[in-house]
C-alpha cells in the first residue's frame, strides 16, 4: 500500500502523465492480508483527534464507548479462545449478548475515523489486528478460500470492518458464517455502516428470504448510532466546478505522478479489473485527472466507481476533472434506490478530493 506523499510538485516539462487504463495490477493474497490496516488517510487518527459536533451528543458517547471497548481488548489470553461480553476477559460458560460494536450513521460523521482510532488504541500487536472494508474482506475470502481466511483471522484480537454492506444473498451467507466462526474463536468485532444491522440488504435483494442470516449478523453487534452532518462539507464552500479539458490535461502534465484518462475509457477498464485490485491500481499516484466526466450509464458501473472513489479517498489522491460535476454522476433513480447511501458517500468523497485537486490548477493569468 502506498502512502501519500506531500503535495505533488511539478513534473519535468512535457512529461507524459500516467494512465490508469494502462495498469493491470496483480495483487497476491499475502498483500491482501498485509494491507489489512487503516489506510494512509487514517494512519495518524486517534480518539483524541476526533472532534465531536457539540450539537450531536451521540458522537461524544461513541468515543467513550469505543475507548472502553479498546481498553478491554487487552484481556485476551495469547492462545485465543472464547471471551465474554464484547470480547473482554474470560468468557462465562454461557456467554450472552453481542460481541462487537457497530457504528451506524450517515456518511461524513467520522465513523471510519473512530473505527481506525479503535484499531490504533487496541493493545494487541498490529499483526493481531485487522482493518479492512467489507469489500476487501469478501475479496480476501475469494483469494484465500473460506477455511484459510478463518484460520488467518482466528488468531486476531480484533477485526474492524468498514463500510459494512450486503449487496447480494451470497455475501449474506458468507459473512454471517465467517463472523460466527471468528466470534467462536474469540475475535472481537467492530464495524461501520450507513445501514442498521437488521436492515442490511434491504432494497438490494429479497432480504426477507435471508432473515435468519441477517438476524445472526445483527446478534454479533451492539449498535451505536452516530448522528450529525457530513464533516467534509461542514462550513466549507461548495465543490469546485469542473475545469476545461485543456486545463485538466495541462495540470496532469505538470503534476508529478498524475494520471490522465478519459472517463468513459476508465469506466470500461474498471470492468476488467477486480475491485480487490483498485487499491493497487492507484499505487504511487500524485493525482487522478479525468476528462469528459458524465453520468454513469448503469448500476454495475456505478458500484465499481464507488469502490474506486473509496480507494482514492483512503489514499488522499486529489482528483481533477472536466465534464459534469460529481453530484451529477448518479441518476435520480440510483440516488433513490437501495444503493443510495453508497452513492451519496461517493459524491461526498469525490467532492472532497475535487477540492484538493483544484489546488493543482494555477489560476489563469491576465
Q: Which helix (H) or strand (E) holds 130?
A: strand 129-133
Q: How far is CA 176 from CA 33, 72, 198, in A?
A: 20, 25, 13
pLDDT band at 87 (very low <50, low <70, confident <90, very high): very low
- Whether residues 113 and 211 share a domain: the answer is yes
Average pLDDT over residues 158-187: 83
Q: What percent of the chain has pLDDT over 70?
A: 77
Flag whether 199 is in a domain. Answer: yes
Whole-prediction pTM: 0.74
**What DSSP character marks residue 221?**
E
- How many residues can be counted in the chain? 366
- Whether residues 80 and 211 share a domain: the answer is yes
Flag whether 12 is in a domain. Answer: no
Q: What phi and psi values does residue 225 have, to the nearest 5 degrees?
A: -85, 130
- Cell triple for 137: 474482506
Under 8 Å between Cβ of 126 and 154:
no
**pLDDT at residue 134, rounded to an integer:** 85
- Whether residues 211 and 306 share a domain: the answer is no
Domain encompassing residue 268? 20-27+234-358
| Rounded Cα distance, 35 and 171, in Å | 21
Flag whether 259 is in a domain. Answer: yes
Q: Give per-residue pLDDT as tens, 189-248.
A: 998 886 645 554 444 434 444 345 556 667 778 888 888 876 665 555 566 789 999 999
- Whether residues 258 and 199 share a domain: the answer is no
**Number of Cβ within a 10 Å radius of residue 201:** 25
- Whether residues 61 and 183 share a domain: the answer is yes
Flag whether 102 is in a domain. Answer: yes
Contacts for 237 with CB less than 8 Å, ≥ 6 apart:
none
pLDDT band at 156 (very low <50, low <70, confident <90, very high): very high
The answer, yes or no, to whether residue 7 has pLDDT greater than 60, is no
Flag whether 68 is in a domain. Answer: yes
Q: Give per-residue pLDDT as tens, 293-334.
A: 999 999 999 999 999 999 999 999 999 999 999 999 999 999
Flag whether 179 is in a domain. Answer: yes
Q: Give per-residue pLDDT as tens, 26-81.
A: 888 888 888 899 988 899 999 999 999 899 999 999 999 999 999 988 654 444 44
Flag whether 134 is in a domain. Answer: yes
**What DSSP character marks residue 259?**
E
- Whether residues 273 and 299 share a domain: the answer is yes
- Whether residues 200 and 265 share a domain: the answer is no
- Whether residues 149 and 180 share a domain: the answer is yes
- Whether residues 66 and 194 share a domain: the answer is yes
Flag whether 90 is in a domain. Answer: yes
Last residue of a domain, one of 199, 228, 257: 228
Last residue of a domain, one of 228, 248, 271: 228
- Cell triple for 143: 483469494
Last residue of a domain, one of 228, 249, 283: 228
- Whether residues 189 and 269 share a domain: the answer is no
Contacts for 64 with CB less than 8 Å, ≥ 6 apart:
none
Q: How far is CA 100 from CA 86, 116, 138, 242, 302, in A?
A: 5, 15, 19, 42, 31
**pLDDT at residue 193, rounded to an integer:** 80
- Whether residues 117 and 180 share a domain: the answer is yes
Domain count, the chain: 2
- Whether residues 243 and 130 share a domain: the answer is no
The enclosing domain of 214 has a CATH number of 3.40.50.300
pLDDT averaged over the chain? Answer: 81
15: nearest Cα among 250, 322, 361? 250
Amino acid at each position: 500500500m502506498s502512502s501519500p506523499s506531500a503535495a505533488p510538485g511539478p513534473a519535468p516539462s512535457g512529461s507524459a502523465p500516467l494512465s490508469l487504463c494502462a495498469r493491470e495490477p496483480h495483487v497476491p493474497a499475502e498483500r491482501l492480508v498485509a494491507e489489512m490496516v487503516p489506510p494512509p488517510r487514517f494512519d495518524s487518527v486517534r480518539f483524541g483527534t476526533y472532534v465531536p459536533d457539540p450539537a450531536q451528543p451521540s458522537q461524544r458517547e461513541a468515543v467513550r464507548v469505543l475507548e472502553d471497548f479498546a481498553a478491554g481488548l487487552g484481556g485476551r489470553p495469547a492462545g485465543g479462545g472464547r471471551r465474554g461480553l464484547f470480547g473482554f476477559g474470560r468468557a462465562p460458560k454461557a456467554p450472552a449478548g453481542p460481541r462487537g460494536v457497530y457504528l451506524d450513521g450517515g456518511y461524513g460523521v467520522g465513523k471510519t475515523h473512530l473505527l481506525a482510532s479503535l484499531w490504533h488504541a487496541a493493545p494487541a500487536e498490529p499483526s493481531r489486528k485487522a482493518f479492512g472494508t467489507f469489500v476487501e474482506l469478501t475479496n480476501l475470502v475469494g483469494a484465500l478460500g473460506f477455511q484459510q481466511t478463518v484460520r488467518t483471522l482466528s488468531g486476531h484480537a480484533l477485526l474492524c470492518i468498514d463500510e459494512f454492506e450486503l449487496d447480494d444473498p451470497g455475501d449474506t451467507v458468507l459473512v454471517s458464517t465467517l463472523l460466527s466462526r471468528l466470534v467462536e474463536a474469540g475475535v472481537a468485532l467492530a464495524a461501520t455502516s450507513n445501514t442498521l444491522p437488521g436492515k442490511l440488504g434491504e432494497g438490494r435483494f429479497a432480504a426477507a428470504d435471508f432473515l435468519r442470516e441477517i438476524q445472526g449478523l445483527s446478534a454479533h453487534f451492539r449498535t451505536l448510532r452516530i448522528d450529525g452532518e457530513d464533516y467534509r462539507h461542514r462550513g466549507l464552500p461548495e465543490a469546485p466546478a469542473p475545469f476545461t479539458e485543456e486545463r485538466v490535461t495541462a495540470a496532469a502534465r505538470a503534476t508529478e505522478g498524475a494520471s490522465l484518462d478519459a472517463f468513459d475509457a476508465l469506466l470500461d477498464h474498471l470492468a476488467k479489473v477486480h475491485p480487490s485490485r483498485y487499491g493497487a491500481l492507484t499505487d504511487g499516484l500524485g493525482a487522478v485527472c479525468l476528462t469528459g466526466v458524465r453520468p454513469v450509464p448503469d448500476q454495475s458501473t456505478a458500484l465499481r466507481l464507488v469502490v474506486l472513489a473509496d480507494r482514492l479517498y483512503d489514499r488522499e489522491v486529489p482528483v481533477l476533472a472536466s465534464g459534469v460535476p460529481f453530484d451529477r454522476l448518479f441518476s435520480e433513480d440510483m440516488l433513490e434506490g437501495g444503493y443510495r447511501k453508497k452513492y451519496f458517500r461517493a459524491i461526498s468523497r469525490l467532492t472532497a478530493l475535487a477540492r484538493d485537486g483544484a489546488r493543482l490548477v494555477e489560476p489563469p493569468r491576465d
